Chain A
Amino acid sequence: MNLDEILNTLHISEQSGHVISTEEGIILHNALLILQNENHFRKIFFWGRIFGTDNDYYLAYGYRSDALHDRIFYYSTNCLNWGLLPSPTEYAKKLTPLCTVKFQGDPALVLDVLLEKDEISFGAPLQEPQVKKLKEEDRLSATIFFINQEVLTLPRGALFKRADGVIVENLSFEGLTTLESREIKSFLHFRVPTQKWNTNLLTRDDYNYAIDFLDPLDTDIPEGCWLQNLTSSEDIVVLKSLYWPGMFFYHFLGTPRYGFLYFGNGIKCLDVPFFLNGLYPIYEDFFAGK
């Protein structure tokens, strides 16, 4: 979320119920400006808040030149003192999905992660249950990495790939139209693309090399794992992911204003296949005996 919008989050809360309180907003606004200045960031964004049982983590990121590859994350437990978030280690990336407890809010805390028998994240299946140690700071960094990979979102056209390969914000972005906003394809994953460069181009007829270099959301499975809602006034489109409850993306239609926020406990919800309801009319037919 852009710094300017931190102070006015109430009007985008219709679909999430969460806002940044005035005091929090003012502190964040100023603290992040100072952080931006110290790091010579071209732009700085508020990323979200991870609820811990004792303390909450606030996260922010900024970039110097490349909006996609140069992102640097900072975290804080009180909005005032910001610390650099370490880049996720392979070890933490393997252990984080196995953590079931909530974040506590102490970055120095060392967690015990229980690996069940036959767990295969570390190569060969384990012969017997094992306990591994994980520092909460590393877990936080791996969690942020996963959320960024999976659900950080952009409207199509918001980023622009310059001829020299550097990705910058598109100054001529004028926002999506109402019609475009109804298509999940108009939203792109804000991550280093995982598919071949032409895969995303070939799926649309009005492709543009400079814009369609990111993966669109329509390849995510199962269909329906993204909730796409218009607010009742039909001027803001809101995306939510079922995998990461608390993730929240908004875009003011017809304007270049968009943003991403995460207010959640930082645990991925793997129950999506069970709780999709009403998306499979075939089953209804089946139960009706057709």
Chain B
Amino acid sequence: MINDINNTGSIIQVNAEDRDLGISPIPNDESEYVYAKSFLQKGSTVTGENLYDHLTEVLNKILSERPENVVDFFEEYSRKVKEKRFRPLTDHLEDIFVAPGRYKLANRLMPLLKPLAPDEPSTLDPEDLERADMSKNNMLELLFYFEHSGLGLPRTEMFCLTMSLRQLIRVAPIANIRFWGKIFGMQKNYLVVETQLKEEEYVKRNENYNVQEDNKIEDLALDQLENINKQEEEIAGEGEPKKIWDTLPPIPKIQYEEPPEPPSEPSGVGVNKKVYYVCNEIGEPWVQLPDVTPKQIRVARQIYKTFTGDLDQPIISYPHFPGTERNYLRAQIARISASTHISPLGFYTFGGEGMGEEEEMDEEMEAGNKTEVKENLRYDPVPIKDLTDKSMMFWVHHNLHILNQGRTTWWNPNPLPEGIDEELGEEEEKPTLLGPEPETGPPLLTPCSEDVTLDAIPAWSVRCSSGIAEEYAVAVVRSNFWPGAYCFATQGKMFHNIYFGNGLKFLAPNFSPTPLPPVEQDYPTGPEIMEIVDPTGAEEEAWRIAHLPKEKPTKLAAGEEEEPEEEEEEDEDEDEDED
């Protein structure tokens, strides 16, 4: 106690001495430190934070993380620490569990990852139960080659796709299935699967073929329209015969007649040979796309629209596209398949079994338009050197060319006796009489070297997947007209056509929309509807004087008052006529 008192006494004494001498105090580490610290700890009047704690935290973070060149990002660190502090500590949403992003995906994929239920014993014919061959649809194997070609989808997606296809063939009557590709849309993408249904299914689908012709529907609509028009005319006729209506010409009629619409090809034939299933993402149910009509293909060639990812999205375009995005997607798939599906020479033949190549060629010449190709069981793989030859001699088309009409086979628009389309014998003679020349496309299995080049752009570019190890390489062919269409062929007996793109064709000059047709004339040109120069004041005056009533010169004043009114009325009538 005594010591303490003394000490305090001495400090007071020293301080007193300093004050007396008027000299600044000797720097005292301790007091400086206390002073500085208390300054740093002074809380902000706005937020109540203080620099001391902040610096401690920042330094703490930096020391624990030890980033490189930290001085350059000091402000950034400081800001981050500050930001963290302002996050409320009492998070009221804490109790709510937010599902991780992958949760939805996991939920969708789980059903695919379970083993398939064993087949139930069925009384049906075992042939009916036969399912599509999945041995060629191991997507992981396919992915191996895709990767060689510089293409691919994530491994999960490919694996689950295999599983998904396996389920699809159990529920749909599919005889043959193949992964067609992926179309990237604005919001969502489409995974597309190409299938060939079983024969019975095609028969079933075509039972209603003749009844459901599009033409009939259009005719119906036209009939209804005409009826409405007639009714309107009648109503107009029954109405009170007004004076001005006498001068009105009849309502104009549409002179334009739609050219007859070619009927769509039945399911299982031509462009509708294959049936396509799509889905936005793996795990979602597969949706079958409707068959395509020739008109849809023709319009699809004239418009340039991206896909949105919604099958029911209306296509707003000129010319009007008949259908929604579902039909547009189907039309584009048909176009892409027709022009980009190619195979190595000799993989497919025209089905003549046990024939040499020359004989086949002869047969091709004879038949002209063969529409069926079969896998060549004795296919001898084309060497990679030939496959990667730039002339594309060793690649052939195995899908039918789509004619301008929108069909793969030509349909004669004006057969002589109406309604008899199917008598082929007659049809052959008619074109010579009637004039329209049947459109013809290149026959099946035409080499790609004969494809047209557009504006000096060759149709195909071919690459070898490897420059080092040629013995394992695959030949990769890329379409220059349909960016995203690829085909690869291994040195074994495998090839695959694939499409990864936005579903639009490459146009060398930019797209130019179809111009609107010229305006149709409502009425034949005549004095009633011609535009004429208004009479000048002087002319009117002259006319008035020329038409002055002469027989009653005494009542001149009254006549003058009446006449201008009549004139005006007449003028008005004329005006209305012109309108």
- The reply on B548 being an interface residue by CB < 8 A is no
- The reply on A51 being an interface residue by CB < 8 A is yes
Q: Are B511 and A171 neighbours in the complex by a CB distance under 8 Å?
A: no
Q: Are A283 and B316 neighbours in the complex by a CB distance under 8 Å?
A: yes
A16 to B201, CA, bound (A): 35
Question: Could you jot down 7 A-B contacts, CB within 8 Å?
Answer: A16-B500, A18-B152, A23-B466, A51-B461, A100-B509, A275-B306, A278-B314
A80: nearest chain-B partner, CB-CB: B467
Contact of B150 among A20, A229, A235, A284 (CB under 8 A): A20
Query: Which of B20-28, B71-79, B169-177 forms contacts with chain A?
Result: B71-79
CB distance from A96 to the nearest CB of B (A): 15
Contact of A178 among B101, B151, B463 (CB under 8 A): B101
Query: Which of A65-73, A188-196, A264-272 forms contacts with chain B?
Result: A264-272
- The reply on B398 being an interface residue by CB < 8 A is no
Contact of A235 among B101, B282, B511 (CB under 8 A): B101
- The reply on A13 being an interface residue by CB < 8 A is yes
Interface residues of A in 2-25 (CB under 8 A from B): 10-11, 13-24
Known: A102-B480, A274-B513. A233 touches B458 (CB 8 A): no
- The reply on B69 being an interface residue by CB < 8 A is yes
B461: nearest chain-A partner, CB-CB: A53
B101: nearest chain-A partner, CB-CB: A234
Contact of A17 among B463, B466, B501, B507 (CB under 8 A): B501
- The reply on A57 being an interface residue by CB < 8 A is no
Please give, as numbers and ranges, the residues of chain A lying within 8 Å of B105 by CB-CB distance: 232-234
Q: Are A18 and B151 neighbours in the complex by a CB distance under 8 Å?
A: yes
Interface residues of A in 225-268 (CB under 8 A from B): 227, 229-230, 232-235, 240, 242, 245-246, 264-265
- The reply on A94 being an interface residue by CB < 8 A is no
Known: A23-B465, A274-B513. A17 touches B502 (CB 8 A): no
Over the window 295-307 of chain B, the binary record of Cβ atoms lying under 8 Å from chain A Cβ atoms (1 yes, 0 no) is 0000000001111
Interface residues of B in 493-509 (CB under 8 A from A): 500-502, 504, 506-509
Q: Are B73 and A172 neighbours in the complex by a CB distance under 8 Å?
A: yes
Q: Are A229 and B68 neighbours in the complex by a CB distance under 8 Å?
A: no
From DSSP, what is the main secondary structure of chain A's interface residues? loop
- The reply on B478 being an interface residue by CB < 8 A is yes
Please give, as numbers and ranges, the residues of chain B lying within 8 Å of A171 by CB-CB distance: 67-70, 72-73
Contact of A275 among B75, B304, B313 (CB under 8 A): B304
Task: Please name 10 further chain A to chain B contacts, defined as beta carbons within 8 Å, in addition to the given A19-B151, A229-B187, A245-B483, sorted by A numbering.
Answer: A15-B184, A17-B151, A53-B458, A54-B461, A171-B68, A172-B77, A234-B104, A271-B507, A274-B304, A277-B308
Query: Which of B153-161, B241-249, B356-364 forms contacts with chain A?
Result: B153-161
Q: Are A21 and B147 neighbours in the complex by a CB distance under 8 Å?
A: yes
Q: Point out residues on B near A: beta carbons under 8 Å.
A: 67-70, 72-73, 75-77, 79-80, 101-102, 104-105, 146-155, 157, 182, 184, 186-187, 189, 281-282, 304-308, 310, 313-316, 325, 390, 455-458, 461, 463, 465-469, 478, 480, 483-484, 500-502, 504, 506-511, 513
Report which residue of A24, A51, A278 has the largest number of chain B beta carbons within 10 angstroms of its beta carbon: A278
Q: Are B184 and A17 neighbours in the complex by a CB distance under 8 Å?
A: yes
CB distance from A264 to the nearest CB of B (A): 7
Q: Are A18 and B73 neighbours in the complex by a CB distance under 8 Å?
A: no
From DSSP, what is the main secondary structure of chain B's interface residues? loop
Please give, as numbers and ranges, the residues of chain A lying within 8 Å of B500 by CB-CB distance: 16-18
Q: Are A242 and B306 neighbours in the complex by a CB distance under 8 Å?
A: yes
A168 to B390, CA, bound (A): 46
Over the window 153-190 of chain A, the binary record of Cβ atoms lying under 8 Å from chain B Cβ atoms (1 yes, 0 no) is 00000001010000010111000001000000000000
Q: Are A100 and B79 neighbours in the complex by a CB distance under 8 Å?
A: no
Q: Are A277 and B102 neighbours in the complex by a CB distance under 8 Å?
A: no
B310: nearest chain-A partner, CB-CB: A278
Please give, as numbers and ranges, the residues of chain B lying within 8 Å of A172 by CB-CB distance: 67, 73, 76-77, 80
Q: Are B508 and A101 neighbours in the complex by a CB distance under 8 Å?
A: yes
- The reply on A121 being an interface residue by CB < 8 A is no
Please give, as numbers and ranges, the residues of chain B lying within 8 Å of A235 by CB-CB distance: 101-102
CB distance from B238 to the nearest CB of A (A): 29
A20 to B148, CA, bound (A): 8
Please give, as numbers and ranges, the residues of chain B lying within 8 Å of A264 by CB-CB distance: 483
Q: Are B154 and A277 neighbours in the complex by a CB distance under 8 Å?
A: no
A246 to B307, CA, bound (A): 16
Please give, as numbers and ranges, the residues of chain A lying within 8 Å of B390 by CB-CB distance: 54
Q: Are A21 and B150 neighbours in the complex by a CB distance under 8 Å?
A: yes
- The reply on A122 being an interface residue by CB < 8 A is no
Q: Are A101 and B483 neighbours in the complex by a CB distance under 8 Å?
A: no
Q: Are B456 and A24 neighbours in the complex by a CB distance under 8 Å?
A: no
Please give, as numbers and ranges, the residues of chain A lying within 8 Å of B153 by CB-CB distance: 13-14, 17
A79: nearest chain-B partner, CB-CB: B467
Nearest 5 CB-CB pairs, A to B?
A17-B500, A234-B101, A19-B152, A278-B308, A271-B511
Q: Are A277 and B457 neighbours in the complex by a CB distance under 8 Å?
A: no
Contact of B457 among A10, A53, A210, A270 (CB under 8 A): A53
Please give, as numbers and ranges, the residues of chain A lying within 8 Å of B189 by CB-CB distance: 15
Please give, as numbers and ranges, the residues of chain B lying within 8 Å of A168 by CB-CB distance: 72
- The reply on A203 being an interface residue by CB < 8 A is no
- The reply on A39 being an interface residue by CB < 8 A is no
A232 to B153, CA, bound (A): 12
- The reply on A110 being an interface residue by CB < 8 A is no
B77: nearest chain-A partner, CB-CB: A172
A218 to B458, CA, bound (A): 38
Please give, as numbers and ranges, the residues of chain A lying within 8 Å of B310 by CB-CB distance: 278
- The reply on A78 being an interface residue by CB < 8 A is yes
Q: Are A270 and B455 neighbours in the complex by a CB distance under 8 Å?
A: no
Q: Are B304 and A100 neighbours in the complex by a CB distance under 8 Å?
A: no
Q: Are B513 and A101 neighbours in the complex by a CB distance under 8 Å?
A: no
Please give, as numbers and ranges, the residues of chain B lying within 8 Å of A246 by CB-CB distance: 483
Please give, as numbers and ranges, the residues of chain B lying within 8 Å of A84 by CB-CB distance: none
B150: nearest chain-A partner, CB-CB: A21
